[in-house]
Structure 1
């Protein structure tokens, strides 16, 4: 019957037809409330964690910088990037280890980039080795969940239980280092990667090479979870300063390479991976230097001739922890005298004594410092044996040197980080793309741990009290 013939139906028959058609409609489950309909859980995707070392939050919060990372800026605008906090000390290796453990440095064991080694017996060695991490990492938990992992240069991964591991490591930054990397990487993987990409992979390799390597590794090995670490922005910030034309022009190039990498792995496509983009710290510039170890040496707490010390400041750049040699006990009164002298000589510094949570020891405050007092968190969050921390909000670099004057004006700016994480310059960025459409809380670099567990479907055995090491 034609549609126009239906117009000749009697009204009663038309009403009957409408009733029959409506009765065939599928009604919702009467036991389920409106808005409470549960959809079938989406399949867990592969997950990529990409770190851009040294990306300050003010690059994202200030639109004037967006033209220097147009691809990332567009992605951040569409899916939502966040300003996040780093840890103390605000340096690379502790922050990246906090990302993969969810804990502060005092808990995970990577207290700084380098060891407390005042006489350089370790020849400037960094904390490269995964065995120094005291708690389970994301790659450990992934393995326990029968998921595969891959890595391109993520810090503190030498010897890590990663299926396809290309760790960051160097000694002299000469071709001999490539032989070390071939041995330290998963067997035959380093050479295979170099042949596939057509370029050497070492600490001198540009981010473009690392990202091309990550593309190859993702497509060739198809890991469930992959870590990728880029370094060139941080390097250019140290060399030329944040906001400098050279650093920003390099950011333009890095942005293009990151975009090409994300395209190559199918990010933001219907079947693409989940993506976390994060940085470890911001950046600040100093015009003066404080060298507190000069005073410790003058007072006999450091003996260069004998190669011994009772006290030493371990610098992170904008902060310095005071550490004692094993079995050394220094009365609090003596510490206060020493640190009062340092604060007086170095304007803009503040000494915060590490005290138990039940204590209310006063702090010594220098000029123009407005950092909140949180002295009972030093040993629980930063370093378990630290006696205290020297810190600043000023354009001041705290050096570990034992030579020269205690306080000097620098002839050239010193670009760095390591400042207290409450300082706005140390804020950095965090971004999550979850193909399932789920929103994630992202306030700190430590949140990467929980976010990635959720994205990857990694389950962790629940224990009472704080998470403790299950590593041998």
Structure 2
């Protein structure tokens, strides 16, 4: 697969090998001074869709030589993501330290069987139910900045350039100018020289982040890149196109780290993290077809009693409003899906005979099933797979089909090896941090910035309006 790229990468390795992210070797006194210095700035950089097997399998390391050098020198962890293993829940877990059932961002998109929201994503910070790192930073009188981090529309971030789109056309730029910190979007575009929107390449986002860091000097900055994930979805993990893009991104990230003074005596602390790995499927299971056949979804009336919300490698069963179904009904649906879709596995919430009572349990209840405590508070159960199977949310066609082309995605159970991802920390004080889950980003950043949490008795209510 990679033969025709060898010569290109060989040349790149020679060129890149002459560069270094490190400053000149420090004297002993300088090292002691830097270790005792208080950390004033921290950057969290997300590389969407970076599978851990790119690091664990040495054959891939030549495609990201600069990152590989950092990982080799300072250490990198293979970390676990959350369920569902998709972008918005995972990124919200990074900034809250909580699972999706607790922080409220259950999926990339709403459970919206009839697409009344026109495919809208969970862009809005007011949907996050618990405090975030930017909330904590504000309480501790620290300034914050953001370039396209998910679920940041309306966030209390000092200099906020949130991710948002509707049609992915230039009209979206007007939306971003309104949703960003006043005048910041236009100022950033003029400074960088390119439009900043959801179709911008990662070079633009990282150049914008470098400008923002140098211009505003935030204590905490979030930066989110998407091109690796996009190429994995389009061409597959390990594909020539995805790996060639990874080589380019590695160089761009290297330039970004240089521009912010990373790994120098007065440089920022750095967290590099990803949200999930990647897997490929060759067949599709559409359990909502069975729900429609059984009358639980009524297209004509636009109502439903049950629906499966797909995440790719999983599909969670959710009730409609005031739904009361029995274990026998659920078991009948599950049996049909298991028969139709080889490789699927059902994980029930419990063996209770009264599912209506189970769905009304508080997410904080000790009796609450693990699916409702971690994934979704209204979960009735979830389908998952370890095989090359993709769960679709469609209500049309057959329950099970063989795909003509590979479907490259994620959303698979977070213990599946393919969903493992990477977490890297550089703390200028030399302190080591435990990094086992995407949720650990919260604690690591909190520790490095010395942020203190205020104890609250009631639920977190993000402000409707915030000023930079």
1:164 matches 2:164 = no
2:62 alignment counterpart: 67
Match of 1:348 among 343, 347, 366: 343
Tell me, in whole angstroms, the C-alpha distance in 1 between the residues paired with 2:62 and 2:151: 33
8 Å contact 1:273–1:435 — kept in the other structure?
yes
Tell me, in whole angstroms, the C-alpha distance in 1 between the residues paired with 2:35 and 2:311: 48
1:326 matches 2:321 = yes
Tell me, in whole angstroms, the C-alpha distance in 2 between the residues paired with 1:454 and 1:435: 13
8 Å contact 2:126–2:461 — kept in the other structure?
no
Secondary structure in 2 matching 1:229: strand
2:278 alignment counterpart: 283
How far residue 356 of structure 1 moved from its aligned partner, in angstroms, is: 8.2
Secondary structure in 2 matching 1:312: strand
How far residue 456 of structure 1 moved from its aligned partner, in angstroms, is: 1.1
Match of 1:446 among 439, 446, 468: 439
Match of 1:119 among 108, 114, 117: 114
1:236 alignment counterpart: 231
Tell me, in whole angstroms, the C-alpha distance in 2 between the residues paired with 1:431 and 1:57: 12
1:42 alignment counterpart: 37
Match of 1:194 among 189, 192, 203: 189
Match of 1:415 among 389, 395, 408: 408
Secondary structure in 2 matching 1:86: coil
1:211 matches 2:206 = yes
2:460 alignment counterpart: 469
8 Å contact 2:39–2:428 — kept in the other structure?
no
Of 380-389 and 42-51, the range deviating more from structure 2: 42-51
| C-alpha distance 423-214 of structure 1, shift in aligned 2 (>3 A) | same
Secondary structure in 1 matching 2:126: helix
Moved over 6 A (4+): none
Bigger-Rg structure (1/2)? 1
Alpha-carbon deviations, 1:178-208, whole Å to 9, x = none? Answer: 0000000000000000000000000010000
8 Å contact 2:49–2:278 — kept in the other structure?
yes
Gaps of 5+ in 2: 1-33, 355-367, 464-468
Match of 1:377 among 370, 376, 392: 370
Tell me, in whole angstroms, the C-alpha distance in 1 between the residues paired with 2:266 and 2:58: 32
Match of 1:262 among 242, 257, 263: 257
Secondary structure in 1 matching 2:309: strand
How far residue 72 of structure 1 moved from its aligned partner, in angstroms, is: 0.3
8 Å contact 1:434–1:455 — kept in the other structure?
yes
8 Å contact 2:43–2:269 — kept in the other structure?
yes
2:8 alignment counterpart: none
1:430 alignment counterpart: 423
Tell me, in whole angstroms, the C-alpha distance in 1 between the residues paired with 2:265 and 2:36: 15
Secondary structure in 1 matching 2:62: helix
Tell me, in whole angstroms, the C-alpha distance in 1 between the residues paired with 2:253 and 2:330: 48
Secondary structure in 2 matching 1:122: coil
Alpha-carbon deviations, 1:50-70, whole Å to 9, x = none? Answer: 000000000011110001000
Gaps of 5+ in 1: 1-38, 360-374
2:452 alignment counterpart: 459
TM-score norm. by structure 2 comes to 0.87
Tell me, in whole angstroms, the C-alpha distance in 1 between the residues paired with 2:313 and 2:184: 38
Alpha-carbon deviations, 1:56-111, whole Å to 9, x = none? Answer: 00001111000100000001100001100000000000000000000000000000
1:86 matches 2:86 = no
1:406 alignment counterpart: 399
Tell me, in whole angstroms, the C-alpha distance in 1 between the residues paired with 2:127 and 2:55: 34
Alpha-carbon deviations, 1:153-187, whole Å to 9, x = none? Answer: 00000000000000000000000000000000000
Q: How does 1:45-60 map to 2 (within 5 A)?
A: 45-60=40-55
Tell me, in whole angstroms, the C-alpha distance in 2 between the residues paired with 1:104 and 1:58: 24
8 Å contact 1:197–1:209 — kept in the other structure?
yes
8 Å contact 1:151–1:228 — kept in the other structure?
yes
How far residue 40 of structure 1 moved from its aligned partner, in angstroms, is: 8.8
Secondary structure in 2 matching 1:350: strand
Alpha-carbon deviations, 1:235-279, whole Å to 9, x = none? Answer: 000000000000000000001000000000000001100000000
How far residue 341 of structure 1 moved from its aligned partner, in angstroms, is: 1.0
8 Å contact 1:291–1:398 — kept in the other structure?
yes
Tell me, in whole angstroms, the C-alpha distance in 2 between the residues paired with 1:330 and 1:283: 35
8 Å contact 1:45–1:272 — kept in the other structure?
no
1:392 matches 2:391 = no
2:359 alignment counterpart: none
Tell me, in whole angstroms, the C-alpha distance in 1 between the residues paired with 2:389 and 2:340: 13
